[in-house]
Amino acid sequence: MIDFLKESTFAVNEVITKAWQVTKRNYFSIATLCFLMFLTSNASNMMAFFLNDVSRGLSILMATMFIVIYFTISLSLFRYIFHLLDDEEHDVSIVSTIPTRQQIIRFLIATFYFSLCIVVVGIIFYPLLLILDPLLKFLVSLGWVDDFTTTGTIVTNICVGMAIIAIFITFVRISFFPFFIIDKNESPFRSIKFSLAITKGNFTKILLLLLVLGGFQLIYWFLGYMQWPIIAFFVNILSSFIIVPLSIVSLTIAYRKMMTEYTGDNEPDIIHNLI
C-alpha cells in the first residue's frame, strides 16, 4: 500500500525554505485556521472555568466538546496543507478540508494510545528506584557511601532526568501519527507504528527543526525571565502569528519528505523501530 516509501531522511534547511514559501503564499488561510485553534483552546478554558461552579458534569461536557472541535480544526489544517503541497494550482475551501467522522474517531483513539505510550515510558524508569534503594543501603553498610540521603536524592534526580529525556524522545518519535490518519487514512495503532518507523534515524534532524522553530519561544521565556515584558510581548505576537503557522507547515513537509524517502516494511513492528 505504501510502495513509494523509501529510506527516510530530510534536510532541515530545505524543509524550512519550502515551508516559508507555502506559508507566505497562503498565509491568511493558514493563519485563520491557527487562529480558530487559538480561540477554541481559550474558549474551552474559559467555559470550563465559569461552568465549574454551576455544574461539574456540564463543565466536563463542554470541555470535551471544545477538545473535539479543536482536534477537528487541527486535522483540517493538516488536510489543507497537504492540498497545498500536492496541488498548488487549484484553490480549495477550508470547509472541504474538514476530516471525516472516521478520521476524527481514529485520531481520538490514537491520541489515547499516544498518551498511554508516554505514561508507560515514564513508568518503566520507576523500578530503577526500587532496585537502587536497597543497593544504596548495601553500599552504606559496606562503608562505600557515607551519606545515604544525599546519594539517594542524586540517584532519584538522575532517574527522573532519564525518564524525562525518554518521554521527550518518545513524544517526538510518535507525534507524527496524525499525518498518517489524515494523509493515508491509517488505523490508530498503525499510525503510531508508522510514526516510529519514519522517524527512525531522523530524530536529530527533527530535534534541530524543533529547536529552530522554537527559538522564538525560548527567546520569549528568556525575556520574561529578564523582566522585559514589552519586548517579550512583541516577540510572543511574532511567534503566534508567524512562527506557529510556519512550524505546522514545516512539520507537515518534514512528514511528507520522510514518507517519500522511506523504505521500511508496510507492516512495521515497534521493537525494530524503537532505536
Q: Would you give the distance in Å from CA 146 to the centre of its chain? A: 43
Grade residue 238 by pLDDT with cuts at 50, 70 and 90. confident
Report d(CA 127, CA 123) in Å as an integer: 8
Q: What pLDDT score does 4 carry?
A: 38
Length of the chain: 275
Report domain extents, the chain. 12-262
The pLDDT tens digits of the residues spanning 157-210 come to 777 788 888 889 999 999 999 999 999 999 999 999 999 989 888 888 888 888
How do residues 97-127 score in pLDDT, each as one tens digit?
889 999 999 999 999 999 998 888 888 776 6
Calculate mean pLDDT across residues 225-252: 79
Report residue 133's pLDDT band, with 50, 70 and 90 as the boundaries.
Answer: low
pLDDT of 63? 74
- Spatial neighbors of 129 by CB under 8 A, at least 6 apart, are 155, 156, 159
pLDDT at 273 over 90: no
Instruction: Give 275's pLDDT tier (boundaries 50, 70, 90).
Output: low
Q: Tell me: the pLDDT tens digits for 61-94?
A: 777 788 888 889 889 999 999 988 887 666 777 7
Q: How many CB atoms lie within 10 A of CB 148?
A: 14
Residues 260-267, mean pLDDT to the nearest whole number = 76
Q: Taking 70 as the threshold, does the pLDDT of residue 44 lie above it?
A: no
Q: What single DSSP character describes residue 54?
A: T
**Overall pTM surpassing 0.75 (yes/no):** yes
* Residue 138 clears pLDDT 90, i.e. is over it: no
**Residue environment code for 86-110, b if the CB has 16+ CB neighbours within 10 A, otherwise e:** eeeeeeeebeebbbeeebbebbeeb
Span 15-43, pLDDT tens digits: 888 999 998 888 888 888 888 887 887 77
- Cβ contact 77:38 at 8 Å: no
Place of cell 552504606: 140
* Beta carbons of 12 and 209 less than 8 angstroms apart: yes
Window from 5-19, 96-110, 232-246 with minimum mean pLDDT: 5-19
